[in-house]
Amino acid sequence: MDAERNSFAQVTEVTAVAHPNIALAKYWGKRAGNGNYPAVPSLSVTLAGLRTRTTVSFDASLTADQLTLNGVRAEGTPLARASALLARVRAASSQKSFARVTSSNDFPTSSGLASSASGFAALALGAVRAAGLDWSPELVSDLARRASASAARSLFGGFVELDAGPEAPDGNEVLAARQVASPRHIDLAVLVCVTTDDAKSVSSTSGMLVTQRRSPYFKAWLEDASLLHNGIRDALERRDLHALGELSEASALAMHACAMAAGVVYINGATLDVLAQVRALRARGLGAYATMDAGPHVKVLVSGADAARAMQELTAIPSVLRVLDARPGDGARMVA
Ligand code: PMV
């Protein structure tokens, strides 16, 4: 009955767009139990300039969900994760057909450029609308979080926070991200130094699980992550780019150190080259700060005024393939 009340008649094909987000305060580690609840709070910036575009249609003639990712039919884990999200939408709506999903990124997929964040944010929004559900942004964010916690944040623009989940979740608690500051709150440029076009070898989900099981530093990370998150939130509120950058870099290094102690290594030689160059720039008085997610690319945080100079210095690093200039941008939206 509820499902019928929430549904509109006959929606066919829809298209949603979402942007990746880069965590300044990192999420790394999950609560025990079902529902994919993060063990630590996180705070991110949603980026304009990189984009996922996803078309969804439910089709009664299909015998299974279909996913095409960057022109290639997906099977295995990517299809299973998309299908699990679609199954939740079917369970909540009067739409019972399988879906055809076509998604493309204008940046490397599965390499720590947060393609799962923009991918699942666009899929969640597209699937909800294609099924005719009139859900609030919070419910769509909660749906995306169940597929990929960072995706909950890409529903919103600017600076976005996601709380840690309840200590012992039963799986039914709604946990959504929320915007804490608009894209224009602080003058920030994120220079994305691409260090490889290859897909990463360890997904963030399995990297986190191995870290939780094996890292001698995981307990310390849980404490540190909350403190860093508070500091990052305060620095953002004060528009203090120096403190924001230093604490964001500390969050990334703590996350990677904790993972590395469990044998989970995402960085490569080029990552270290960029980290060294960022330190050299700082020593010369340019306020540049580095952060990396579950992959080898480095995102360098600078003020908009310093972006052109920093871009020149980072592009000159021989092991860096290219540098993209991304700025804080909007959340996910429907485009058709
Ligand atoms: O939500 P997932 O499974 O894509 O994991 C994201 C993990 C990091 O990107 C490393 C950190 C973060 O908060 O985005």
Q: How far is the CA of 204 from the centre of ligand 1 (A)?
A: 6
* 46 C-alpha to ligand 1 centroid (Å): 13
96 CA from centroid of ligand 1 (Å)? 31
Rounded to the nearest whole angstrom, what is the distance from the C-alpha of residue 150 to the centroid of ligand 1? 5
Parallel/antiparallel/unpaired status of strands 66-69 and 98-105: parallel
Q: Which ligand 1 atom is the nearest neighbour of the CA of 150?
A: 1
Q: Is the pLDDT of residue 199 over 50?
A: yes
Ligand 1 atom nearest to CA at 38: 1
Instruction: Specify the ligand 1 atom closest to the Cα of 255.
Output: 10
- Using the structure block, give the residue that is written with the tokens 């920093």: 310
The confidence band for 126, taking pLDDT boundaries of 50, 70 and 90, is very high
Per the structure block, which two tokens stand in for 130? 């294609």
- How far is Cα 330 from Cα 328, in angstroms, rounded to an integer? 7
DSSP 231-248: HHHHHHHTT-HHHHHHHH
Q: Is the CB of 294 under 6 A from ligand 1?
A: yes
pLDDT at 93 over 90: yes
Whether 197 has a pLDDT exceeding 90, the answer reads no
Question: According to the model, what pLDDT value does residue 109 have?
Answer: 58
* Ligand 1 lined by 23 (C-beta under 6 Å): yes
Bridge partners (DSSP) listed for residue 181: 159
Q: How many CB atoms lie within 10 A of CB 224?
A: 17
Across the chain, mean pLDDT equals 94
Contacts 24+ apart (CB under 8 A), 222-225: 222/29, 222/39, 222/40, 224/254, 225/25, 225/26, 225/28, 225/29, 225/40, 225/41, 225/251, 225/254, 225/255
- Residue whose CA lies nearest to ligand 1 atom number 13: 27
14-54 pLDDT, tens digit each: 999 999 999 999 999 999 999 999 999 999 999 998 899 99
pLDDT of residue 108: 60
| Distance (Å) from CA 186 to ligand 1 centroid | 23
Residue 2 has pLDDT above 70, yes or no: no
pLDDT value of residue 107? 72
For the Cβ of 148 lying below 6 angstroms from any atom of ligand 1, the answer is: yes
pLDDT tens sequence across 313-325: 999 999 999 999 9
Ligand 1 midpoint to CA 92 (Å): 27
H or E segment to which residue 272 belongs: helix 269-283
Q: Is residue 105 pLDDT above 50, yes or no?
A: yes
Q: Give helix 307-315 / helix 269-283 axis angle, nearest 10°.
A: 140
- Amino acid letter, 219: K
The DSSP result for 279-314, as a single string, is HHHHHTT---EEE--SSS-EEEEEEGGGHHHHHHHH
Instruction: Enumerate residues 6+ apart whose C-beta is below 8 A from 181.
Output: 158, 159, 236, 237
pLDDT of the residue at 6: 45
pLDDT reported for residue 5: 42
Q: Could you tell me the domains of the chain? A: 2-183 (3.30.230.10), 189-328 (3.30.70.890)
Tens digit of each residue's pLDDT (9 = 90 or more) over 149-177? 999 999 999 999 999 999 999 999 999 99
Closest C-alpha to ligand 1, atom 10: 293
Among 22, 113, 155, 204, residue to substitute to test ligand 1 (most atoms within 8 Å of Cβ): 204
Q: Which pLDDT score is estimated for 7?
A: 45
- Percent of the chain with pLDDT strictly greater than 90: 90
Q: What is the mean pLDDT of residues 43-68?
A: 96
CB of 271 sitting under 6 A from ligand 1: no
pLDDT-based confidence at 282, cuts 50/70/90? very high
Contact 111 CB / ligand 1 (< 6 Å): no
Q: Which ligand 1 atom sits nearest the alpha carbon of residue 151?
A: 1
- Better pLDDT: 4 or 48: 48
DSSP string across 124-171: HHHHHHHTTB---HHHHHHHHHHH-HHHHHHTS-SEEEEPPPPSS--S
C-alpha–C-alpha distance, residues 236 and 180, integer Å: 9
Structure token pair of residue 34: 């079902």
Tell whether the model's pLDDT for residue 4 goes beyond 90.
Answer: no
Encode pLDDT of 212-268 as tens digits.
Answer: 999 999 999 999 999 999 999 999 999 999 999 999 999 999 999 999 999 999 999
